[in-house]
Amino acid sequence: MTAARQGGGGGERLQKVLARAGLGSRREIDRLIAEGRVTVDGVPAVPGTRVRGRERIVVDGRPVPRSRLRAAPPPRVLAYHKPAGQVVARRDPEGRDTVFRHLPRLREGRWIAVGRLDVATSGLLLVTTHGELAHRLMHPSRRIEREYAVRVFGEVDGLVLERLQRGVRLEDGPARFERIEYAGGGGANQWYHVTLREGRNREVRRLWASQGVQVSRLIRVRYGPVVLPPGLPAGRWRELTPGEVAHLCELVGLPRP
């Protein structure tokens, strides 16, 4: 076994190095390693592999330039307005349209989605070239706020709202909304703005469903300090300014670019 494969051999974790180089989020790189698609000095990488920057790293048969491993380019971040019906995936086995078909081409690296929106949900999706930034923005320990505009169908009274803010138990553990604000509506269809600090699968829909209330429309309008740009058409994107990217990095404890 080479020094690069020894968990206690010094250096940085391979997942972190490749994420910083823009080759994917830590979760995506974990999957590449598990599938045997990453080698270090000709040896298949394993979970816990550490590197010092002098190794020959190959991903899917393509060597990773050492210059990218030592000095990653400044991160780019896009605010993308995802329409309902698009899938947050690079490829869809059902042939549905995917978010990544609508993003600008990159000379190096790849776009990494910061979390996911299910196919029926529209609104703000952040994508970045910086895997470590994506990882930290998604990680539950950072407690980054996500705000949604949600249209619900069903009876909603004060007790329902109180339970949703106090907390209910879902199949994957307790969950709650940080805030709920009434936003108007008519008849049985009412709009609310809800805020939570987790990104569990379909969490907003499941919270309302726990009270017998059906979500008929869901739009993410904010992720941390980034809001859905007013007037941005569905399927289009706006690139964040260097100052906005620096603010995101500071928010999750990364150095300013």
**Catalytic option among 97, 118, 157, 172:** 118
Give the per-residue pLDDT at 9: 57
Which pLDDT value is given to residue 53? 77
pLDDT digits (tens, 9 = 90+) for 83-93: 999 999 988 99
Q: Where are the domains of the chain?
A: 3-70, 77-141+226-251, 145-223
Beta carbons of 179 and 165 less than 8 angstroms apart:
yes
Superfamily name with CATH number, domain 3-70: RNA-binding S4 domain (3.10.290.10)
What does the H/E/C string look like for the chain?
CCHHHCCCCCCEEHHHHHHHCCCCCHHHHHHHHHCCCEEECCEECCCCCEECCCCCEEECCEECCHHHHHCCCCCCEEEEEECCCCECCCCCCCCCCEHHHHCCCCCCCCCEECCCCCCCCEEEEEEECCHHHHHHHHCHHHCCCEEEEEEEECCCCHHHHHHHHHCEEECCEEECCCEEEEEEEECCEEEEEEEECCCCCCHHHHHHHCCCCEEEEEEEEEECCEECCCCCCCCCEEECCHHHHHHHHHHCCCCCC
Percent of the chain with pLDDT over 70: 95
Crossing angle of helices 131-138 and 26-34, rounded to 10°: 110
- Cα separation, 248 vs 132, in Å, equals 12
At 6, the pLDDT band (50, 70, 90 cuts) reads very low
Please indicate whether residue 157 is annotated as part of the active site: no
pLDDT at res. 1: 41
Task: Using pLDDT thresholds of 50, 70 and 90, give the confidence band for residue 256.
Answer: confident
**CATH fold match for the domains 3-70 and 77-141+226-251:** no
**Looking at the domain 145-223, which fold is it?**
Pseudouridine synthase (3.30.2350)
Looking at residue 186, its pLDDT comes to 73
In this predicted structure, what is the pLDDT of residue 160?
95
Q: Which of 8-12, 143-147, 235-239 has the lowest mean pLDDT?
A: 8-12
Residue type, 13: R
Q: What sign does the CA torsion over 229, 231, 234, 236 have? A: negative
Confidence of residue 70 (pLDDT cuts 50, 70, 90): low
The pTM is what? 0.76
How do residues 188-231 score in pLDDT, each as one tens digit? 789 999 999 988 899 999 999 999 999 999 999 999 999 999 99
pLDDT in tens, 16-34: 888 888 788 888 899 999 9
Mean pLDDT of 150-156: 89
Q: Which CATH superfamily is domain 77-141+226-251 in?
A: Pseudouridine synthase (3.30.2350.10)
Over pLDDT 90: what percentage of the chain? Answer: 69
**pLDDT tens, residue by residue, 88-132:** 998 899 999 999 999 999 987 889 999 999 999 999 999 999 988
When pLDDT is cut at 50, 70 and 90, the band that residue 161 belongs to is very high
